[in-house]
Chain A
Amino acid sequence: MLELKNVGKRYQKETWGVRGVTLELDAGVHGLLGSNGAGKSTLMRMLTTVSEPTEGEIRWNGAVVSESASTVRSVLGYLPQDFDTYPSLHLEEYMEYVGALRGLDAETTSARTDELLRVVGLSDVRDRRLDTFSGGMHQRVGIAQALLGDPDLLVVDEPTVGLDPEERVRMRNTLADTPGDRVVIFSTHIVGDIEATADTVAVLDDGELVTHDETEALIDRVEGRVYRCTVPGDTADSLRERHTICNTVRRAEGFELRLLADEPPTSDSEPVAATLEDAYLSTVNNATT
């Protein structure tokens, strides 16, 4: 289990990237949601021992990470946000490199590389230089290397960026399919990816943890408060001032709005099923107001 107690990271005297985050994460897939600059990557970097917390404590199965970083490193798989590789290496050589970094023996590295390259569909290009890979192929290399050490703690930061829709779905499935006894932390600002994958969702806003709950429970919080209506332009403006707007589509008859409201905002409003995106917007909006 991964525990965070009042974890914070200060960059300058009064500038905190993350502050006061307390979380307990058991086995399962945990989504970390937040807008750009909310502090997701800062938190990820502390979880993966890339940077040290300024305050607070991170524990892995009871051991304090700051006292022994190797307790986390020996069980960690990490896909950084700006994942990069050595361009002159072939894919297979790069996987051997990661295997050495993870302390795997040569046979295990070779066997797991075979298997994982099949999973990400790159077996046929294993002897190609990495600088000939497209952005999507690069990202698939990233997930393969993160899984190479059979990690108990898998941290993936924005793994679906740059992937086409089909690959995005496969990436999500790969994360969801990983055996259930490991902790997977999946950071993104794409709510749909989390909704399709995560057991629990933590929402960060402006460096602070706004909420952490099961995905369904988070959606339940706004169930019955999501409406869809089609209104003329001036009414749309007035509704925007009073409600959280989740979506706007321009139609021939006006604007079709999806919004959060305690009561039907117009006479012809119809309630619709809530999604995680609605829940996320509601959570962030409540946190900032």
Chain B
Amino acid sequence: MLRRDARRVYHIARTDLLARLRSRKLLAFLLIVVYFGYLINAGTFGLFYSADGSLVSGALTAPMTGLNAGVAGSMVMLFGGFFLMRGSISRDEQHGHSTVVAGSNVRSSVYLLGKLGSNTAVGLLTAGVLAAAAVGNHAVHGVGATDPVVIALPVFVMVVPLAVLVGGVAILFETIDVLVGTLGRIVYLVSMIFVVGGLFVPSGTATPAEVQTEAKLFDLLGRVLAHELTFDAVQAGYPAFDTGFVSFGTGGGLEQTFNYEGGRWPAWFFLQRFCCAVTGIALTVTASVPFARFRDTTPGPVIERIPSVSLGSVLSRLPLGKRDNTGSVTPAEDRPRVGELSLTPAETSSGGVSRLLAVELRRLLRGHPWWWYLGAVALAVGPLWIAATGGGGGRAVLLLAAVWPVFVWSRIGSQTARAGILEQIRASNYPVGQLFAEWLAGGLIGLAVTGGAFALLIVDAGSGAAVGLLGVVVFPPSLALVAGLWTGSQRLFEASYLGIWYLGPLNGAFFADFAGVTTESIAMFVPVGYAMAGLVAVLAVANHRAYDGLMG
């Protein structure tokens, strides 16, 4: 029995992995990983401290490179891995394979463990690629001898157990209806921002002995580990070091360095990573409870049907919901034949594009859960009231307002890209007009939701903040349109947009601040740049959509 199940797990994992290996998405992800490997060894990305009034990074010895690569791999796995690993169940549903599985005697837990096996293999592959990139780059840019084991081992120890955990979460989210779509992706991202970004990690100063147990328990990124391993080396190089906690990102550099030559890793970290892996497996087994293996897999875009998180769609899954799939509603004998009817002549109108805009607006706004509408109205109107009563909190409101329409934007392009719809549009009177109507509808919704926040920001920070409005209104629907039409999925848009939002507006990296939250981005017209890039991309897509090009 156990052997048979193990064999099933292996084959489900293998098949799923083969499907992934033949997709461009995994390749693109691995290219990003390779790029991270380069950044680490170029000294532009990694662990750094604030010591003696300047920023201090570790000299790129083999142990330091391994540690940097391990933390970078953990970050990539935590944020990018989730988006990559999702979809293994819906992929089977999309291609009709799920009905074969549903009708077989493979237990749900075995099926899901097979999917986890595939996710873990992706983690192994990621770790392998990152380790290889780090070793190769160290040989070129590093300090001292290049020891492949010292560089690669931390990457595998840190990344692979995390892949099991993230893979388990991805599977669990995919089996719970309300978490399958955009809501699940946002919930995950926000949770990770809190866990990784400082909910448990000490702020200010702390010696390794002062770090609390919960910080070690939730050290998914590996910062606590890095702090503990490199603390003595920093103190040795910089006696006035004030025990400030280690940071990870682009803030460092190789002008001021400390020398970390490796050391024994603490036992708590191995235990923590072991717990990560066990938790991932436990979540996967738990996911077999909500996993509905016989859920509706009628032909068509199941991936789009499941993510609808409206109250109605949730209720329709309950026994109370009336769900009639029996086909004929009006008895055949009661229907008139085309020849028996005097059909109304088809009259065309000149206002086609404006009507398209109206129907696109309705399509994008339709079918969201009640709380989304409530939040959108609150974000649109609330800031105006705050601005009228004195202002304050504009940045915080804008951060939320820039994420809220993601539920709407993620429908742009991705729904239209499905072959059966796109062909109807291309064969219609307005193939290009529809594209602009869809894009414009997304921009108008963005304007409605974020306009109040900008009014508040202008009250807080002056009229210069209005530049950001251009970025928020033009860039996201453009990115959604291009990414959605290209991939036919919401995931690329959501992952890239939320990533840029995380780096720019949330964390203040000016080059990614398309919303103009930072003074540097406004001064450098970064939002205008994002808006222009979006516009150019939309024009390129429109040119492709037009039968003989836009200029033809």
Chain A interface residues (CB < 8 Å from chain B): 45, 48-50, 52, 66, 69-70, 73-74, 76, 78, 80-89, 93, 96-108, 111-112, 115-116, 118-125, 129, 131-138, 145, 147-150, 162, 164, 166-167, 170, 173-174, 177-179
Q: Which of B297-356 contact A (CB under 8 A)?
A: 298-301, 304-305, 308, 310, 312-313, 316, 323-332, 334-339, 341, 343-349, 351-352, 355-356
* Interface residue? B551 (CB, 8 A): no
How many angstroms from the CA of A47 to the CA of B434 in the assembled complex?
Answer: 21
The 8 Å CB contact of A123, one of B330, B345, B348, B428, is B330
**CB-based closest 4 A-B pairs:** A84-B420, A88-B367, A105-B349, A150-B346
Q: Are A69 and B338 in contact (CB under 8 A)?
A: no
B366 within 8 A of A: yes
Q: List 11 A-B contacts (CB under 8 A).
A: A84-B418, A87-B308, A100-B359, A112-B343, A118-B336, A122-B330, A123-B330, A129-B367, A132-B325, A135-B299, A145-B424
If A80-B420, A177-B338 touch, whether A121 touches B332 (CB-CB below 8 Å) is yes
- Contact status B425-A101, CB under 8 Å: yes
Cα separation A179 to B336 with both chains bound (whole Å): 15
Instruction: List which B362-391 residues lie within 8 A (CB) of chain A.
Output: 362-363, 366-367
Task: Find out whether the CB atom of A115 lies under 8 angstroms from the CB atom of B341.
Answer: yes
B2 touches A (CB below 8 Å): no
Does B323 contact A132, Cβ atoms closer than 8 Å? yes
| B35 CB → nearest A CB, Å | 32
Contact assessment for B367 and A66 in the assembled complex, using a CB-CB cutoff below 8 Å = no
Q: Contact: A125 with B329, CB < 8 Å?
A: yes
Contact between chains at A134 and B327 (CB < 8 Å): yes
Chain B positions within 8 Å of A98 at CB level = 424, 428
C-alpha spacing A269/B349, complex, angstroms: 64
How long is the Cα–Cα vector from A98 to B299 in the complex, in angstroms?
A: 22
Q: Are B346 and A108 in contact (CB under 8 A)?
A: yes
10 more A-B residue pairs beyond the given contacts A116-B343, A162-B299, with a C-beta to C-beta distance below 8 A: A87-B308, A89-B362, A100-B359, A101-B428, A105-B348, A119-B335, A119-B336, A121-B329, A131-B308, A166-B332
B338 adjacent to A147 (CB under 8 Å):
yes
B interface residues, Cβ below 8 angstroms from A: 298-301, 304-305, 308, 310, 312-313, 316, 323-332, 334-339, 341, 343-349, 351-352, 355-356, 358-359, 362-363, 366-367, 411, 415, 418-421, 423-431, 434, 547-548
Contact indicator A86/B363 (Cβ below 8 Å): yes
| Nearest neighbor of A118 in chain B, beta-carbon distance | B336
Q: In the bound complex, how far is the Cα of B80 from the Cα of A137, in angstroms?
A: 39
* Measured CA separation A123–B330 after assembly (Å): 7
Q: How far is the CA of A90 from the CA of B426 in the complex (A)?
A: 22
Contacts of A149 in B (CB 8 A): 346
Decide: B421 and A138 in contact? CB cutoff 8 A. no
Tell me if B308 and A88 are in contact (CB < 8 A).
yes
Say whether, besides A84-B420, A125-B329, A132-B316, A96 and B359 are in contact (CB < 8 Å): yes
| Docked pose: A78 CA to B411 CA in angstroms | 24
- Name the residue of chain A whose CB is nearest to the CB of B325: A134
Most chain B CB inside 10 Å of its own CB: which residue of A88, A99, A102, A131: A88
Nearest-neighbour CB distance to chain A for B45, whole angstroms, equals: 41
Q: How far is the CB of B106 from chain A (nearest CB, A)?
A: 26
A78's partner among B343, B356, B423, B547 (CB-CB below 8 A) is B423
Complex Cα distance, B344 from A149, in Å, reads 10
Which residue of chain A has its CB nearest to the CB of B335? A121
Bound CA–CA A173/B324 (angstroms): 26
Closest B residue to A157 by CB, please name it: B423
Q: Bound state CA distance, A137 and B548, in angstroms?
A: 35
Distance of B62 from chain A, by nearest CB (Å): 47
Report if A112-B339 is in contact (Cβ < 8 Å); known contacts: A49-B426, A101-B434. Answer: no
Closest to A41 in B: B423
- Interfacial chain A residues near B341, Cβ < 8 Å: 115, 118-119
CA distance A74 to B366 in the complex (A): 29
CA distance A89 to B365 in the complex (A): 10
Contact B428 A73 (CB under 8 A): yes
B425 near A112 (CB under 8 angstroms)?
no
Known: A93-B362, A174-B337. A112 touches B344 (CB 8 A): yes
Pick the contact of A84: B300, B313, B363, B547 (CB < 8 A): B300
With A73-B427, A84-B420, A87-B301 as given contacts, are A106 and B355 in contact (CB-CB < 8 Å)?
yes
Residues on the B chain within 8 Å of A49, using CB: 426-427, 547
Instruction: Knowing A80-B424, A122-B329, A134-B298 are in contact, say whether A115-B356 is a contact too (CB < 8 A).
Output: no
In the complex the two chains form, what is the Cα distance from A105 to B347 in whole Å?
A: 6
**Contact call B335/A100, Cβ cutoff below 8 A:** no
**Min CB distance, B315 to chain A, in Å?**
12
How far apart sit A148 and B339, CA to CA, in the bound complex (Å)? 15
Q: In the complex, A257→B459 CA distance in Å? A: 87
- A81 to B, closest residue via Cβ: B420
Contact B299 A50 (CB under 8 A): no
Report the bound CA distance from A269 to B332 in whole Å: 42
Kindly list chain B residues whose C-beta atoms are within 8 Å of the C-beta of A70: 429
Which residue in chain A gives the minimum CB-CB distance to B342?
A115
A101 CA to B347 CA, complexed, in Å: 13
Say yes or no: A76 contacts B323, CB within 8 Å. no
Chain A CB within 10 A, most for which of B310, B419, B547: B547
> Cβ of B429 and Cβ of A86 under 8 Å apart?
no
Residues of B within 8 A of A93 (CB): 359, 362-363, 366
Q: How far is the CA of A185 from the CA of B356 in the complex (A)?
A: 28
With A78-B424, A102-B429, A132-B316 in contact, is A138–B300 under 8 Å at CB?
A: yes
A70, A87, A96, A125, most chain B CB atoms within 10 A: A87
B423 contact set on A, CB distance < 8 A: 45, 48, 50, 78, 80, 82
Contact among B313, B323, B346, B366 for A104, CB-based, below 8 A: B346
Question: Do residues A89 and B548 form an inter-chain contact, with CB atoms below 8 A?
Answer: no
- Choose among B348, B356, B411 the residue with the greatest number of A CB atoms under 10 Å from its CB: B348
Contact B352 A103, beta carbon cutoff 8 Å: yes
In the complex, what residues of A have CB within 8 A of residue B313's CB? 131
Most chain A beta carbons < 10 A, residue from B305, B313, B335, B337: B335
**Contact, CB under 8 Å: A124 / B330:** yes
Chain A proximity of B258: nearest CB distance (Å):
56
A174-B338 contact given A145-B424, A164-B327, CB 8 Å threshold = yes
Chain A residues contacting B434 (CB-CB under 8 Å) are 101
Contact B428 A87 (CB under 8 A): no
